[in-house]
Amino acid sequence: MAKALLLPPPLLAAALLVAAASASAFAPAPAVPVHGTNRSGCYSHFFAFGDSLIDTGNFIHYSTAPGPVARSPYGETFFHRPTGRWSDGRLIVDFIVERLGFPYWTPYLDGKTKEDFRYGANFAVASSTALNQLFFKKKHINVDGITPYSLGVQIGWFKKVLAMLGSTDQERREIMASSLFLVGEIGVNDYNHPFFQNKTLGFVRPLVPQVIRSIGLSLEALIQLGAKTLYVPGIFPLGCVPRYLFLFRNSEPGDYEPATGCLRWLNDLTALHNTLLKAKLDELRRAHPGVSITYVDYYGEVLSVITSPARYGFGDRTALDACCAGGGLHNANFTIHCTEPGAVQCPDPSKYVTWDGLHMTEAMYRVMARGVLDGPFATPPLMSRCEKYYTNKAPEMCLHLVVPNAKE
pTM of the predicted model, to two decimals? 0.87
Active site residue 359: yes
The CATH architecture to which 46-401 belongs is 3-Layer(aba) Sandwich (3.40)
Residue 211, Cβ neighbours under 10 Å: how many? 25
What is the Cα–Cα distance from 46 to 193, expressed in whole angstroms? 29
Domain ranges of the chain: 46-401
What is the Cα–Cα distance from 51 to 152, expressed in whole angstroms? 12
List per-residue pLDDT tens for the chain, 408 residues long. Answer: 333 333 333 433 333 323 333 333 333 333 333 333 444 468 999 999 999 999 999 999 998 889 999 999 999 999 999 999 999 999 999 999 999 999 888 899 999 899 999 999 999 999 999 999 999 999 999 999 999 999 999 999 999 999 999 999 999 999 999 999 999 999 999 999 999 999 999 999 999 999 999 999 999 999 999 999 999 999 999 999 999 999 999 999 999 999 999 999 999 999 999 999 999 999 999 999 999 999 999 999 999 999 999 999 999 999 999 999 999 999 999 999 999 999 999 999 999 999 999 999 999 999 999 999 999 999 999 998 776 655 554 433 333 333 333 333
Active site residue 356: yes
Active-site residue (options: 40, 44, 51, 52): 52
Active-site residue (options: 88, 94, 110, 356): 356
Residues 266, 267, 268, 271, CA torsion sign = positive
List the beta bridge partners of residue 181: 47, 230
Active-site residue (options: 214, 297, 359, 374): 359
What is the Cα–Cα distance from 86 to 355, expressed in whole angstroms? 8
